[in-house]
Structure 1
Amino acid sequence: MAITFTGLNYIYQANTPFEYHALKDINLTIPDDSYTAIIGHTGSGKSTLLQHLNGLLKPTSGSLEVNGQLITPQTKNKQLGALRKQVGFVFQFPEAQLFEETVLKDIAFGPQNFGKSQAEALEIAKQMAQLVNLPARLWEKSPFELSGGQMRRVAIAGILAMTPKTLILDEPTAGLDPKGRLEMMEMFYRLHQEEKLNIILVTHNMDDVANYADNVVVLEGGQVLKTGSPQEVFAEPAWLKKHHLGLPKTTAFAQKLVERGFKLDKLPLKEKQLAEKLVALIGGTGHE
């Protein structure tokens, strides 16, 4: 089911001299089975918005519906258990939360904590380890003996072991080298495609938005500024610059070509799209 915000406001330290209105009248629908990127400069409200999705925060006013569950200011914390099982949250550096003796035990902790037997939880852990491409030779090792990228996969497998319908990614590749970052993003995209996970990604990397997302939400000053496909959002470089947002590298390069006289009907988002357009232009009369 879709995720729907209706007139949602959130105020930190309300009714004190330090109150801060972080989210302002959010009306937004995130479609089911989508890969949604939420972008905006620091302080735009991205993290506050994310924390409403699994009940870490509750609205000051307005409401939020996630997978059929309505959350209002009156919702009790004990009513949020089912929601937190349905919405998996991958924070920055999730590997900091690892603690068990072995990889499998760490992945199995969540299911066991929610009532699965030890044998059932370990079987789930093996399935999730395979899902995130952790080889069996690592399963009985301490997670702290692994590389940074492998530790992050263990943490993500532990979240997937709770079988969430929605996976929230808050700058999930922070601190990884380029190869590890690409592998991680490809893994999330595969999970979206094959496991039908609804993905919500917060990132400052516009290339990731262009390459993986099918839906984009732009936040500024705690408000929704724009929604649309990546092609729609990145179609106006001047608007993006005005709101302190960048372009994907391929799109930025294409924009420079347009400024030099190349005629492109649409600014491409991906390298393959740009290459196809350049081949067509070279064979035609697209450059004056």
Structure 2
Amino acid sequence: MSIRFEKVNYIYQQATPFEHQALYDITLTIPTGSYTAIVGHTGSGKSTLLQHLNGLLKPVSGRIIIGDQEITSLTKNKELGTLRKHVGVVFQFPEAQLFEETVLKDIAFAPKNFGSSEQEALETARQMAKLVDLPEYVFNKSPFELSGGQMRRVAIAGVLAMKPEVLVLDEPTAGLDPKGRIEIMDMFQNLKIQQHLTIILVTHQMDDVARYADNVIVLEKGHLLANNFPEKIFSDSKWLQEHHLALPQATRFAKELQKRADSFNFSKVPLTEEELAIQLIQRINEVKQNDE
């Protein structure tokens, strides 16, 4: 399911003394099946753009085309039901939205709400619980008895139970320790492959952008600054610094190494630890061969 923004503007509290424009003429395309990261400094418009993806907000002007559906300022809320089934959103701290008495009932809530019978909804819930690696012994427990990481998986399974084609992730690893963050992000990567999802990730974690995304959208004060491959975005450290964006750790290490050893050049800017390690090993082997 492709997504297209065409000259989208959004203004909070329009025609009041508190009017604030959050998006300015945003035009971009998110291809079907892509893993797109949306980055930018606080106040850049990331969350506002995200809320347009399933109609929580509608453009003041311009239009958004998601699959076969067009969203404009005139679109009625009752016309957005199908869209909200196809575009699932995992907000920050999604476990805060859990409310049912058991894990399975919580996951089953969305499909029941969209017309599935209780039996069908519970079967879907079981499938989604297994998909996010929840063990069967927690299925009939209260979600509030689980660990923080497991609670988050329950909430994510509840979004997946709608069987969306697009999964929108708003800082999905907020509050998790490094191990938990890696586990959750690897889970999303596996889900993308298994379920053929289009994933849109809003994050401040540049290491996650480098490792998982194949497309990066950069916003600043409501304007679109860039929409390009991660390799292109992270190749210009000066540009990133000017726009208050960080480099992935591996890329930062590589650039520092180049500064200290003028003769050391990377054939390709490494974005991940694995890419960095491969090129360092290649360089060490080259030096050994030259010394022999």
> Into which bin does the TM-score normalised by the smaller protein fall?
over 0.9
| CA distance in 2: counterparts of 1:190 and 1:278, whole angstroms | 28
TM-score, length-normalised on structure 1?
0.97
1:9 paired residue number: 9
1:69 equivalent in alignment to 2:64 = no
1:285 shift after superposition: 5.5
**Structure 2 residue 275 is the aligned partner of structure 1 residue 273:** yes
Partner amino acid, structure 2, of 1:54: N
> Partner of 1:175 in structure 2?
175
1:67 deviates by 1.6
The yes-or-no answer on 1:284 pairing with 2:286 is yes
User: Which residue in 2 is equivalent to 1:111?
Assistant: 111
Q: Does the CA-based 8 Å contact 1:214-1:229 persist in structure 2?
A: yes
**Residue 189 of structure 1: CA displacement?**
0.4
Once the two structures are superposed, residues 93-112 of structure 1 have per-residue CA deviations (whole angstroms, 9 ceiling, x without a partner) of 00011111100000011111
What is the SS of the residue equivalent to 1:179?
helix
Consecutive unaligned residues of structure 2, counting only runs of 5 or more, are none
Q: Give the structure 1 partner of residue 80 of structure 2.
A: 80
Amino acid paired to 1:36: T
> Deviation digits for residues 107-142 of structure 1, max 9, x if unmatched?
011111111111111000000000000010000000
- The residue that corresponds to 1:140 in the other structure is 140
Q: Which runs of 5+ in 1 are unaligned?
A: none
How many Å apart are 1:182 and its aligned residue? 0.8
Q: For 1:241-269, what per-residue CA distance to the aligned partner results, in whole angstroms no more than 9, with x for missing partners? A: 11100000000000001111221233200
Give the Cα–Cα distance (whole angstroms) in 2 for the partners of residues 217 and 28 of structure 1: 9
- The aligned runs of 1:191-270 (5 Å cut-off) are 191-260=191-260, 261=262, 262-270=264-272
For structure 1, which segment, 19-28 or 261-270, has the greater mean C-alpha deviation from structure 2 after superposition? 261-270
Q: Structure 1 residue 179: deviation in Å?
A: 1.2
Give aligned pairs, total.
Answer: 286
The percent identity for this pair of structures is 64
Report the residue type matching 1:284 in the other structure.
E
Partners of 1:233 and 1:134 in 2: how far apart? 36
Q: CA deviation at 1:178?
A: 1.3
SS of 2:271 mapped into structure 1: coil
Secondary structure at the counterpart of residue 187 of structure 1: helix
Q: Given that residues 12 and 19 in structure 1 are in contact (C-alpha distance below 8 angstroms), is that contact kept between their aligned partners in structure 2?
A: yes
